Amino acid sequence: MSSEKITFTYFDGMGRGEVTRILLHYVGQEYNDVRISFEQWPKIKADQPFKRVPVIDIDGVQIAQSRAIEQLFARRFNLLGKDEIENALIMQYLLSIDDSQEFGRGILHDKDEEKKKQRIEVYVNQTVKPLLVSLEGFLNKNGTGYFVGSNITLADLGIFQYLWIIEHKYGVVLTGALKEFLQKIGREPKIQKYISSRPESYF
C-alpha cells in the first residue's frame, strides 16, 4: 500500500463520501477518516476547495468532488475497466445513481416525519424503482454477477452503496439479481468488516 499520508474529510454520515470509504477499505489502503459535524462545518469550510466536501488530502494536495476522488483510487487500485468502453460504462452507472440521488436530495434530513414519509414514497415510486429495473437488466445482460467485466469495479462499489441506502434508509425491498448482488458484494471480507463497524448515520 501507498506510504502517502491520506486524509479523507466528510460529514459524519454516508452521503457522497461513503463510496470512497468503502473503496479504501476494500483495497486495504490506510487513511485518516475525518468525520465532521454540521456544527463544525462553518469553521473549516473556507479551507476546502470549492467550499464543499468530500475532500481528500494526499501529502498536502487537496482533491475535491466525490467522483474525482473515487476515480483516482479506482485507477490506482485497478478498479476501472479494461478499456475505454468499460470505463464509460462504469461512469454511466455512477452518473445514473447521481441523477437518482439528486431527486432525493434532502429527504433524509427532513425533520417532519409525515412529510418525509410522503417524500420517500414519491421518490421511490417515481425515481428509484425505474432505475432498479434498468440496473437489474444491465446486471443480467453482463452475465458475470458484476456490472462491468468479470471482476469488481468502481461501478459495483457505487451501486452496492446505493442499493444499501435504498434498502436500509428508504425501505425498498430488493429481490432477484439485485438482492443477490448486494449480498455478494457485502460478503467481501474487508467490505463486510467495514459495513459492520461503520458509525450509524441517518444519511
pLDDT in tens, 47-57: 999 999 999 99
Predicted pLDDT of residue 187: 98
Query: 190 is written with which cell numbers?
Result: 474487508
Helices (H), the chain: 18-27, 41-44, 66-76, 84-103, 113-123, 129-142, 154-168, 176-186, 189-197
Residue 159 has pLDDT above 90, yes or no: yes
The arithmetic mean of pLDDT across residues 136-150, rounded, is 98
What is the mean predicted confidence (pLDDT) over 133-153? 98
Helix (H) or strand (E) holding 57: strand 55-58
**Amino acid in position 160:** F
What is the per-residue pLDDT across 24-77, written as a single tens digit (0 to 9) for each? 999 999 999 999 999 999 999 999 999 999 999 999 999 999 999 999 999 999
Q: Give the pLDDT mean for 8-13.
A: 97
Class of domain 84-188: mainly alpha
What pLDDT does residue 48 have?
95
The residues that bridge with 61 in the sheet, in sequence order, are 58
The pLDDT confidence band at residue 2, using thresholds 50, 70 and 90, is low
Residues 6+ apart with CB under 8 A from 172: 124, 128, 129, 132, 166
Residue 11 has pLDDT above 70, yes or no: yes
- CATH 2.60.40.1180 for domain 6-78+192-197: no
In the predicted model, is pLDDT for residue 154 greater than 90?
A: yes
Q: Where are the domains of the chain?
A: 6-78+192-197, 84-188
**pTM of the prediction?**
0.95
Specify the amino acid at residue 183.
Q
* The pLDDT of residue 3: 80
Residue 36's pLDDT is 97
How far apart, in whole angstroms, are the C-alpha atoms of residue 92 and residue 87?
Answer: 9
Using the predicted structure, report yes or no on whether residue 1 has a pLDDT greater than 70: no
